[in-house]
A = this chain, B = another copy of it.
């Protein structure tokens, strides 16, 4: 904790990852751990918590001025479960406004002129900058994977429902997923095992059992929105994974997968209009223009459109189940390229939306650098419920994709 706080002291002015941090409180909690008998596998480990997640002893603003100074009565389930296992909540990390697209104050730790990505901006930046070893994030569209890739760390969006969402400010009930940011895949697997109630896996044993991995390289229907560096990265990764002994083939997503991008947007907007009903009716003047405009569009989404989007999602999930009989994991872009220059946008979630909609696990690991020298991540996705498989493959691949 002392070294984490020293790093925050040195770097927070530049990175701006924290919405709330009280060094004395964090240190006192760490000292309390020293005096206690070991509570569990996370005893004494500092963890950052995205400010969309409630904490009983730290204010929680959901990234919005509507909630300045808001003090929740309870810890979110993921926070309480981490604390039960001994974790020390170090502080609250910056979220975009209600985990949507209006950016917070955070900058990319590799280049302060660039976005860290969003919406879990502070969690990704704080972990990347070695201020904290791990942090909770959330993903409704691409909010864990994209900022993790932009910041050059490991990001994990579990199978939908795997981490309890109690105390997390909702956006879309059918897609919101609590995820994790860390600097290694085993760190993520350890925290996941505590939070989800599963035993902590030996990822190397899992990988050994799965070999040779059947890996699909999927350029997705949105390939033309990825830049040249990402195009080259996917080729390079495919080549390396093949030479490492896995069975690598191209996979093309058939109809109606290309339409799933739109379905994710419809569901997200319809749900968000309802989830933020209090804020949009009582505090419209405190919403950003970005969010106000999005909500105005969202209010025009019909129940029929919403139902059709869910039907398409259900169909795609079934097709994905069939598809995964041939593949252990798919390797896809994590983002269109490196973190864009500028702080006005958190980047394009186009390479995340489909996988969030499909409800399966997604992991990003660092795999290269872009033309500006910023990190590029690659994304591994797999079938619903097979998080362990995807984490094991990411852990295996990280060894020889590391850069």
Question: C-beta contact mask, A121-148 vs B, less than 8 Å → 1, else 0?
Answer: 0000000000000000000000000000
Q: Are B197 and A164 in contact (CB under 8 A)?
A: no
Q: Given A303-B196, A307-B385, A385-B307, A277 and B174 touching (CB < 8 A)?
A: no
Q: Given A173-B161, A271-B164, A277 and B77 touching (CB < 8 A)?
A: yes
Q: For the complex formed by this chain, how many copies does it contain in all?
A: 2
Q: Are B77 and A73 in contact (CB under 8 A)?
A: no
Q: Determine the chain B residues whose CB is within 8 A of the CB of A372 once the complex forms.
A: none
A397 at the interface (CB under 8 A from B): no
The stretch of A12-20, A79-87, A347-355, A361-369 that contacts the partner chain: A79-87
**Closest Cβ–Cβ distance, residue A320 to chain B (whole Å):** 15
Q: Which of A80, A198, A307, A385 has the most CB of B within 10 A?
A: A80
Q: Are B274 and A166 in contact (CB under 8 A)?
A: yes
* B-binding residues in A (CB < 8 A): 56, 67, 70, 73-77, 79-81, 83-84, 161, 164-167, 170, 173-174, 196-199, 270-271, 274-279, 281-282, 302-303, 306-307, 385
Q: Are A75 and B303 in contact (CB under 8 A)?
A: no
In angstroms, Cα B277 to Cα A282, docked, is: 31
In angstroms, Cα B74 to Cα A279, docked, is: 8
Q: Are B197 and A303 in contact (CB under 8 A)?
A: yes
Q: Determine the chain B residues whose CB is within 8 A of the CB of A278 once the complex forms.
A: 56, 74-77, 79-80, 167
Q: Determine the chain B residues whose CB is within 8 A of the CB of A165 once the complex forms.
A: 170, 173
Partner pick for A198 among B77, B173, B303, B385, CB 8 A cutoff: B303
In angstroms, Cα B73 to Cα A73, docked, is: 10
The 7 lowest CB-CB distance pairs between A and B, nearest first, are A80-B277, A164-B274, A80-B278, A75-B278, A166-B275, A74-B278, A198-B303
Q: Are B279 and A83 in contact (CB under 8 A)?
A: no
Q: Determine the chain B residues whose CB is within 8 A of the CB of A84 once the complex forms.
A: 277, 281
Q: Which of A83, A166, A170, A307 has the most CB of B within 10 A?
A: A166
Q: Determine the chain B residues whose CB is within 8 A of the CB of A303 once the complex forms.
A: 196-199
Instruction: Tell me the nearest residue of chain B to A280, going by C-beta.
Output: B80
